[in-house]
């Protein structure tokens, strides 16, 4: 099969201009790549990256229920296990805990966990 189109010839001047443009672009890309410095992650960024996928911020209404029921020295957390459900955790302050010293030494805190499922605020109250 014969090519009916005639190829357009490129002058040496046009070719050299294109070659200079390509060199310029390559230099710009290399300079940009070299200017990208590796930034160390801050402790906050590292903490977010390493956070467990099931740890979530606590619903402010649930925290209010805990503070009204038990006192402001108690704290709470919530987790959503991969298997489903909602685990509500109350963190008992050491001065209000009935856990023994060996428990505290091993666990570093007293956490009481209850599955509240879809009960929400009512489950927190219970």
Does residue 19 lie in a domain region? Answer: no
Q: Residues in the chain, how many?
A: 126
Does residue 32 lie in a domain region? Answer: no
Does residue 48 lie in a domain region? Answer: no
At 124 the three-state DSSP class reads helix
The domain of 80 spans 53-125
pLDDT by residue for the chain (126 residues), tens only, comes to 555 666 778 888 888 888 888 888 888 888 777 776 555 666 656 555 555 554 567 888 999 999 999 999 999 988 888 888 888 999 999 999 999 989 888 989 999 999 988 888 888 888
Residue 38, C-beta contacts closer than 8 angstroms, at least 6 positions apart: none
**pTM for the model:** 0.53
Does residue 5 lie in a domain region? Answer: no
Does residue 9 lie in a domain region? Answer: no
Contact 112, 99 (CB under 8 A): no
Does residue 91 lie in a domain region? Answer: yes
d(CA 65, CA 86): 17
Number of domains into which the chain is organized? 1
């Amino acid at each position: 099969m014969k090519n009916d189109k005639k190829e357009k010839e490129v002058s040496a001047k046009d070719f050299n201009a294109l070659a200079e443009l390509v060199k310029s672009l390559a230099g710009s890309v290399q300079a940009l790549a070299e200017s990208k410095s590796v930034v160390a992650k801050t402790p906050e960024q590292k903490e977010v990256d390493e956070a467990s996928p099931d740890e979530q911020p606590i619903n402010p209404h649930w925290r209010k229920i805990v503070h009204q029921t038990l006192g402001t020295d108690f704290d709470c957390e919530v987790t959503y296990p991969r298997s489903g459900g909602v685990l509500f955790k109350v963190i008992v302050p050491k001065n209000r805990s009935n856990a023994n010293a060996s428990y505290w030494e091993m666990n570093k805190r007293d956490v009481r966990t209850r599955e509240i499922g879809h009960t929400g605020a009512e489950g927190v109250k219970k």
